[in-house]
Amino acid sequence: MIVLGIESSCDETAAAVVQDGHILRSNVVATSLDLHAVYGGVVPEIAARSHIESIIPVITQALEQAACDWQDIDAIAVTYGGGLGGSLLIGVLTARTLAITKGKPLYAVNHVEGHVYANFLTDTTLEGYVLPAKQPEFPMLALAVSGKHSELILFRNHFDYQLLGETCDDAVGEAFDKVAKMIGLPYPGGPNVSKKAAEGNQHAFMFPKAKMAGKYDFSFSGLKTAVLRTAQLQIGEDHTFPSIGLPERLNEAQKADIAASFECSAIETLVDKTLLAYEEFKPRSVVIAGGVAANQELRRQLADRLPLPIAYTDPKLCTDNGAMIATLGCFKANLDPKKVADPYLLDIVSNLSM
């Protein structure tokens, strides 16, 4: 079973070929990140236009890298939600057209569920990837953390899952991105906050952890405000001082301490709840997924506190990519082939949840 996966839900145009749900044969990602960096965040219209330009070259390159031609491809999988409407449309319309013209079955994939399936890749024909030695076992607890999601999901089996909790406001990746902006670090904030944090003291500031009614729910907007208030205090100003003026008034040591204390506190919240869910549900495996899963502090804290070893996937497969979509596509095509999508009707669902 060889599946072509297509992903275009945000600013990455991505395609990949995966064989039998575990062999990564190609992974091509074109990002419009540079075009958005000047605005400090993703501009939906720019993302959509850039997908139009990139999608065919990216798919062509993914087939070439996998040494495949169209007759080798058994199915196409595509992200149909959630994400930016204009961005999703380009991927879905391309996948629908290819499914019809090349005569391939089409599978519709939920973006967050796809992120989790990056952890099922264990082998590759490509250089430069470090993958887990074996696939995760069920029941599997997944922490999905990205720029739009912070979710704890319990998978009893493939396609049989329960959302245990989610964020009530900002996603954790969004908090990283906004804190980066406050202290003058470039977009995307996550990796840059992490880099700056390495120079700072995690205990310089005590940031609050939100107490939620839902045992497994998250909230990061209070933490973000606490970071803002701390930064304002550091330069001797009150809460009326605009965040846009902070970067030039904070010195490098203050920025590093804010980044380190914020990162430590945000990650601790994620790990606290993951541990709580681990103790209640006693899963046979725990996986992390989504852009924030690339974070080294998250990996360090989990390794320290979770009684179960985690096999992490390559950071390149944590941020948006086509391989995760192709992998889940393989499982759908193999285990649930009747769920094939109608290539004449498949629509996007921007606000799709788990």
Residues at the site binding ligand KG4, with contacts judged by CB under 6 A: 10, 146-148, 173-174, 176-177, 188-191, 194, 290-292, 294-295, 319-320
Torsion, Cα 295 158 79 173, to 10 degrees, reads -20
User: Among residues 33 and 68, whose Cβ is nearest to ligand KG4?
Assistant: 33
Q: How many CB atoms lie within 10 A of CB 147?
A: 24
Min CB(189)–ligand KG4 separation in Å: 5
CA–CA dist 73, 69 (Å, integer): 7
Q: How many residues bind Zn ion (CB under 5 A)?
A: 2
Look-up: residue for tokens 């700072």? 200
User: Among residues 63 and 287, whose Cβ is nearest to ligand KG4?
Assistant: 287
- The entry of Zn ion, ligand KG4, none near residue 81 (CB within 5 to 8 angstroms by kind) is none
User: Among residues 91 and 105, whose Cβ is nearest to Zn ion?
Assistant: 91
CA–CA dist 268, 209 (Å, integer): 9
Site membership for Zn ion, residue 11 (CB under 5 A):
no
CA–CA dist 25, 202 (Å, integer): 40
Which of the stretches 167-175, 206-214, 315-323, 338-346 binds Zn ion when contact is defined by CB under 5 A? Answer: 315-323
Exposure letters 57-92 (e unless 16+ CB within 10 A, then b): ebbeebbebbebeeeebbbbbbbbbbbbebbbbbbb
Which of the stretches 49-57, 141-149, 264-272, 346-354 binds Zn ion when contact is defined by CB under 5 A? Answer: 141-149
Which of the stretches 38-46, 122-130, 138-146, 295-303 binds Zn ion when contact is defined by CB under 5 A? Answer: 138-146
150 φ/ψ angles, rounded to the nearest 5 degrees: -140, 100
Look-up: residue for tokens 């996966």? 5
User: Among residues 98 and 193, whose Cβ is nearest to ligand KG4?
Assistant: 193
CA–CA dist 209, 206 (Å, integer): 9
Site membership for Zn ion, residue 146 (CB under 5 A):
yes
Min CB(73)–ligand KG4 separation in Å: 25
Min CB(118)–ligand KG4 separation in Å: 10
- The entry of Zn ion, ligand KG4, none near residue 190 (CB within 5 to 8 angstroms by kind) is ligand KG4
Min CB(188)–ligand KG4 separation in Å: 4
Enumerate helices (H) and strands (E) in the chain, giving the number of each: 11, 10
Site membership for Zn ion, residue 320 (CB under 5 A):
yes
Min CB(199)–ligand KG4 separation in Å: 15
Q: Helix or strand or coil: residue 251?
A: coil
Min CB(9)–ligand KG4 separation in Å: 7
Sheet architecture: strand order including 285-289: 160-166, 150-157, 140-145, 285-289
User: Among residues 136 and 188, whose Cβ is nearest to ligand KG4?
Assistant: 188
Cβ(246)–Cβ(297) under 8 Å? no
User: Among residues 107 and 205, whose Cβ is nearest to Zn ion?
Assistant: 107
Min CB(281)–ligand KG4 separation in Å: 24
Q: How is residue 267 written in tokens?
A: 């990650």
With 0-12 CB in 10 A as exposed, 13-18 as middle and 19+ as buried, what is 338? exposed
Nearest-CA neighbor of 338 among 143, 89, 22, 107? 107
User: Among residues 19 and 187, whose Cβ is nearest to ligand KG4?
Assistant: 187
Q: What angle do CA 264, 270, 271 make, to 5 degrees?
A: 85
Specify the amino acid at residue 120: F
- The entry of Zn ion, ligand KG4, none near residue 176 (CB within 5 to 8 angstroms by kind) is ligand KG4
User: Among residues 146 and 269, whose Cβ is nearest to Zn ion?
Assistant: 146
- The entry of Zn ion, ligand KG4, none near residue 343 (CB within 5 to 8 angstroms by kind) is none
Binding site for Zn ion (CB under 5 A): 146, 320
